[in-house]
A and B are shown apart, each in its own frame.
Chain A
Amino acid sequence: MSISCRKVSLGWRVSGFHITWWILVVSALLFDALPIPGYAEPRLPFSSKGDPNTILRIDPPVRVAEGAQDVEVPGFAEPVKPIADPLEPVNRLFFHINDKFYFWLLKPVASGYAAIFPQPVRVCVRNFFDNVATPIRAANCLLQLNLEDFGNETARFVVNSTVGLAGFFDPAKKRYNIKRQEEDFGQTLGSYGIGPAFYINWPVFGPSSLRDTIGTVGDFFLTPRTYLVEFPILVNVGLATYERVNNTSLMLGEYEDLKEAALDPYVALRDAYHQFRQEKIKER
C-alpha cells in the first residue's frame, strides 16, 4: 500500500510547479553520487575483492598504439585508451571554477569542520551516509547479476543498521570482513559494454563522463531519499552538502597532491578519473 502511495506522490511532484524542486533534488543528489577523485570521492574505496589471496592479473604485453611508431611495452603496463574530450575548452573553464570552489569555499569549510569534530566522529558520519546509500550499491550488484555482492551488501546493511548503531559503525567489515562493494549505475552501464563516450567536467560536481552522468541520474532513482516526499527540499540539499563537507574533511590534501605532482593538472585529473572508473568496471 505504501508503495502505491509513493508512486502517486511521485507523479504529483513531477507534474506542476514542483519541477523546479525536482531539478534541485537531482542536483543535490548529484552532489554525493559523483565520484570526484581529488575532492569529492567519499574515499579511495576498496579496490580488490576481500580475499587477500586473489591472484593479480597477468596482462599480455601491450602496445602503446599511437601513430605509426608503436612502442612495444611488455609487462604489466595496461595502457588505458585516453578518454575523448571534445568539450575540452568548456571543461577547462569549469576546472578552474572548481579549483577556486575548492580552495575558496569547500576546503576552508571542511577544514573548520575538521577542527571542531575529531576524525573518528567524521568517519562515523561517513559510515552513516554510506549505509544509507546501500540501495544504490545493492541494486547495481543485481543489475550486474552479481548475486554474491548483492548478498554482501544486504548483509552489511542488516548488520550495520543494527549492531552498527544505525550505520554509524561498520562491524560488517571490522568483525565479519564483509567489505563494501563500490557499485553504481555508471559501472553497471560499463559492465554492459558501454564506454564513457566523452569526458564532462561539471561545475561544482567535477569529473564525469556522459555515461557516468547518466549513471548518476539513474542512481538518483535508487536513492531512498528521492522517495521521501515529505522531506523539504532544503533538508535534502543540506544533507548532500553536509555529506560532501564531511567527506572532504577526510580527504584534505589529496587534490593538492594531485596538482602538485602534475604538469597539467586538468589532464592529470581527467586521466586519473578515467583510469579509476575503468578499473572499477573491470574489477567486477
Chain B
Amino acid sequence: MKSISLWRSMVPFIVSFGVAIPVWAGEPTEQIKQTTDKMISTITDPTLKNASKSEERRKLIRAAADERFDWEEMARRSLARHWTKRTDAEKREFTSLFSDLLERTYMDKVEGYSGEKVLYEGEAVDGDYAVVGVKILTAKDTEISVEYRVRRKENGWFIYDVSIEGVSLVNNYRTQFNSIILRSSYRELVKKLAAKVAKK
C-alpha cells in the first residue's frame, strides 16, 4: 500500500520531468554556454593563432571571463568568516588579487583547449541560485564533470563557484585561506597571494 501511494505521488514529478526536458537549456545554461562559446571561438580563431596575437587573445578570453564570473562573491565565500572582519579597502584589495589568481588559473586551462567537447547536462534553479551541469569529453577518452554554481543579479547569472569532479574551487581555497590565516595572519595571506600573482 505504502509503495503504491509513493509511486502515485511521483507521477506528477515524472510527468513534469518529461515536459521539462525541452526547456532544459534555461537562462543560466544559456549564459554559461554563451561565455564558453565565446572563449572557444577566440581560442580556435585562426586569425588569432599567431604568437604575436597571443596577448590580444588572452585579453579577449579574460574579458569573456570577467563578464560571467562574480569575483567578489568568490572572494567573499572563500574568505568566509574572515571576510566580515575586513575593511572595504581590504576587501577590494583581496578581490582584485584573488581574481587575478583565478583568472590566471582558469586561463591556463582554457588556453590548453584542444577540441574537447562540452556537453550541457542540465540545470537546477532555486530562486536566485542555480547549478549548471557540464560534461567535458577529452581526447583521452575521459569525462570530466563540471558544475557551475551561479547567482542571479539584475543583469544576468554570475558564477560564484566552479566544482570539478566534486571538488569545489571555493571550498578548496577556503580551506587553504583558513589554514594560512590560523597559522599566521591575514596580512601573511595577502602577501602570499600577491607573490603568487606576481610570479607570472
Contacts and interface: CB of A to CB of B under 8 A. Distances in A.
Given A71-B84, A276-B165, A279-B165, A80 B171 contact: yes
A55 B174 CA distance: 27
B172 A272 contact: yes
Interface in B125-166: 126, 128-131, 133, 135, 139-145, 147, 149, 151, 160-161, 164-166
Contacts of A47: 143-145, 165-166
Interface string A196-229: 0000000000000000000000000000000000
Nearest to A273: B167
Interface stretch (B2-10, B38-46, B51-59, B75-83): B75-83
A76 B127 CA distance: 11
A261 B173 CA distance: 10
Contact of B175 (A69, A257, A261, A267): A267
A281 B171 CA distance: 18
A244 interface: no
User: Looking at chain B's contact residues, is the secondary structure mostly helix, strand, loop, or mixed?
Assistant: mixed
A119 interface: yes
Contacts of B173: 263
A69 B160 CA distance: 21
Most buried by A among B84, B167, B177: B167
B170 interface: yes
Nearest to A120: B141
A79 B84 CA distance: 18
B29 to A, nearest CB: 11
A123 B141 CA distance: 7
A54 interface: yes
Contacts of B80: 64, 66, 71, 73
B124 A56 contact: yes
Contacts of B121: 48, 52, 54
B179 interface: yes
B21 interface: yes
B31 interface: no
A263 B129 contact: no
A267 B129 contact: no
A54 B126 CA distance: 16
Interface in A23-66: 37, 43-48, 52-58, 64, 66
A159 B105 CA distance: 40
Contacts of B189: 263
A71 B119 contact: no
A54 B122 contact: yes
A264 B84 contact: no
B155 to A, nearest CB: 18
B122 A57 contact: no
B51 to A, nearest CB: 21
Nearest to A269: B172
Contacts of B113: none
B101 interface: yes
A276 B166 contact: yes
Nearest to B147: A56
Contacts of B142: 43-45
23 contacts: A44-B143, A56-B147, A64-B174, A66-B80, A67-B81, A69-B84, A77-B171, A78-B171, A82-B175, A119-B139, A123-B140, A123-B141, A260-B105, A260-B108, A263-B196, A267-B176, A267-B180, A268-B175, A271-B172, A271-B176, A272-B167, A278-B166, A279-B167
Given A64-B80, A262-B176, A264-B176, 18 more contacts: A43-B140, A43-B142, A44-B165, A45-B165, A56-B131, A74-B129, A77-B149, A257-B108, A260-B105, A263-B173, A263-B176, A263-B177, A267-B176, A268-B175, A271-B176, A275-B168, A276-B165, A282-B166
Interface of A: 37, 43-48, 52-58, 64, 66-67, 69-71, 73-80, 82, 119, 123, 170, 250, 257, 260-264, 267-268, 270-272, 275-276, 278-280, 282-283
